[in-house]
Amino acid sequence: MGVDRRVRAWLRAALAAVVLASGPALATDPDLAPFSELQNLGLGFQELGGHLPPPGAFGGQNEATITQNGASLSATVAQYGGRNEASVTQSGFANVAALLQVGLQNTISLSQAGDANQALIGQLGAFNNAAVVQNGVNNLVQILQVGNGLNVSVTQNGNNMTARVVQRN
Amino acid sequence: MKRKLSAIAVAAALACAYTGALWADTGTITQTGDGHEAHITQTSVNNASTASVTQTGSGNTANVTQQNSSQPMHATVSSSGSGQNATVFQEDSWNAVANVNQSGGANNTASISQTNASDNFGETLTTATINQNVSTNSMATINQSNADGTSATIDQVGNFGAASDATITQQGVLLSTASIFQNTTDASSSITQTAGSHLTASILNIDARVSDATITQTGSNNNASIQQASLSTSSGSSFSDFANAIIDQSGSGNSAAIDQAGAFTSNATINQGGSDNTANINQSSDHSNATVNQAAETSGNVATVNQSNGFYNDALIQQSASSNVATINQSGNGTAESRNSATVTQLSAGNNATISQSGGAGNVATITQN
């Protein structure tokens, strides 16, 4: 089984979980988190292309912490588990954070200080929480949450920033 | 096989978690500064969804979209500063609530659209509210369609000496209300309610100098009212001169009222089609013009025009068909050079017309009944 096929299998399993959790009315809705979107969520990140769920996924607790200072830095987190926690702090210019969590309970805390920073966050699970703080100019954050119990908080201080949040079951 | 079993286990765990928990989906964006964009999209959610955007600065944009929910959806956009743009779109819900609050600055715009939002056994559970406070040259728009028992409200207050536009459109709604309150000069307000019944539309414009107000209703048993008035405060008085008010109603059992107090050189027009309608116009200043048209082939209509405290006032009531009643009362101090004029034209039998003029001289009264 190739890398793409194995990732796709995991995403399909997670999608099945969400559809079951959403109830029968939503299970027939064609607009619900189509597989292609979830597939893109997992495979669309260049940085995440080679990551696979670890053995015993959805059964454990993952914690990741990244702190970066400088310019053009990249922080990538991919967590598959029952309870995932990621904390990322970046300060500087043109930094990128790409964070993906698939699990039953996901929590992300991201702080970016500086200009031209970007953050891309994907969470798939039953309880998702994402808190993002950006200070500076021309920063961007995009968040996709799929599941139940969705919670996003974005705070941006500065000028010319964009925050985009999509939540769905 | 092992992988398939683990997937099923995850699915079962999530399903159990869902049925046993009470969740709310929440999206919150807070932005400080200029030139920001905030977008929140919540679709196909099983839980009550809440979207909140707060922006402070200038030139910011906020977009909130909520769709396809079996639970309540609430959206709130609050901003302070100039050039703020807020848009809320809600669709397919039985309980949609949208609030946009904009304060300070100038050139702010707000738009709320709600569609396919039914009520719950006659309760008004779908509401749209826009507040623009001390925000000059601002624009507010609310559209509601296929949504019974809804409420739409626009308040533009404290915008002294500045133009503001307010528009409410309700289509295919029952038992719904629309109201606009403006405290600003050079304002424009419009309410359109179509294909509905038991609707209420009201416009209150204080300090309505050079302002236009229009209400259009189609359907039966609807109510429309426009009030344009001056304002007296400890710091002085404002005026509602050169104000224009128009109410158009088609259907039966409707009522329309226009009240222009202290509005020099103002115009009021009520057009009604159908039967058993009621029209009232009250004006209390000089150079006022009142017109009531109750269309042909209708009966049982009642029209009343009261003009007081002025001269050069004109009142006209035109009624076709039978069993109509027309009354004009003028009590201003007209003169031979600046007379008041009252005219009633009834083009059928069985009608009743009364003109009463008191005060002044040189007034003219004409009643024509064919």
Question: Is residue B325 in some structural domain?
Answer: yes
Q: Decide if B15 is inside a domain.
A: no
Q: Kindly compute the dihedral angle of the four CA atoms of residues B19, B21, B22, B27, in this order, to the nearest 10 degrees.
A: -100
d(CA B229, CA B263): 7
Length reported for chain B: 370
Is B29's CB within 8 Å of A16's CB? no
More confident residue, B349 or A54: B349
Question: pLDDT tens-digit profile of B322-343?
Answer: 889 999 999 877 777 778 899 9
C-alpha B11 chain-centroid distance: 49
Confidence of residue B239 (pLDDT cuts 50, 70, 90): low
In a domain, B12, yes or no: no
Q: Which domain holds residue B187?
A: 24-369
**ipTM for this prediction:** 0.85
Residue range(s) defining the domain that contains residue A70: 3-168
CA distance B302 to chain A (A): 53
Torsion of CA A90, A96, A102, A103, to 10 degrees: 10
Q: Do A160 and B24 touch (CB under 8 A)?
A: no
Around A111, how many Cα atoms within 13 Å sit in the side-chain half-sphere? 9
β-bridge partners, B319 = B294, B346
Residue of chain B whose alpha carbon sits nearest to that of A138: B36
Contact assignment for A167 to B42 by CB distance below 8 Å = yes
Give the number of other Cβ atoms within 10 Å of residue A50's Cβ: 9
Q: How far is A66 from chain B (nearest CA, A)?
A: 24
On whether residue B14 sits in a domain, the answer given is no
What is the chain A residue with the closest CA to B59?
A: A160
> Could you tell me if residue B239 is inside a domain?
yes
Indicate whether B185 belongs to any domain: yes
How many of the other CB atoms lie within 10 Å of CB of B188?
19
CA–CA distance, B229 with B260 (Å, rounded to integer): 6
Contact A58 B12 (CB under 8 A): no
Q: Supply the pLDDT for residue B172.
A: 86
Residue A40 has a pLDDT of: 53
Indicate the average pLDDT of chain A.
76
What does the DSSP assignment read for A117-129? -EEEEEEEEEEEE
Residue type, B261: A
Minimal-distance CA residue of chain B relative to A167: B42
Instruction: State the Cα–Cα distance between residues B341 and B352, nearest whole angstrom.
Output: 19
What local confidence, expressed as pLDDT, does residue B235 receive?
Answer: 58
- A45 burial level (CB within 10 Å; 0-12, 13-18, 19+): middle
Which one-letter amino acid corresponds to residue B64? V
B339 lies in some domain: yes
pLDDT of residue B119: 58
Classify residue B117: in a domain, yes or no: yes
A31-76 pLDDT, tens digit each: 333 444 444 554 444 444 445 455 555 567 889 999 999 999 999 9
The residue in chain B having the minimum alpha-carbon distance to the alpha carbon of residue A131 is B28
Angstrom distance (rounded) from CA B192 to CA B277:
18
Q: Determine contact: B147 vs chain A, CB below 8 A.
A: no
User: What is the pLDDT, as a whole number, of residue B285?
Assistant: 82
- Please, are residues B307 and B315 in contact by the beta-carbon 8 Å criterion? yes
Count H helices and E strands in chain B, helices first: 1, 30
CB contact under 8 A, B11 and A9: no
Whole-number average pLDDT of chain B: 86
Contact yes or no for B18 and A153 at CB 8 A: no
The count of structural domains within chain B is 1
Beta strands in B160-196 (DSSP E): 164-171, 177-184, 188-194
* Structural contact between residues B240 and B260, judged by C-beta atoms closer than 8 angstroms: yes
Q: How many domains does chain A have?
A: 1
Residue tagged 């009343």 (tokens): B304
- Interface A-B, measured as beta-carbon pairs within 8 A, has a size of 156
List B residues 337-366 in contact with A (Cβ-Cβ < 8 A): none
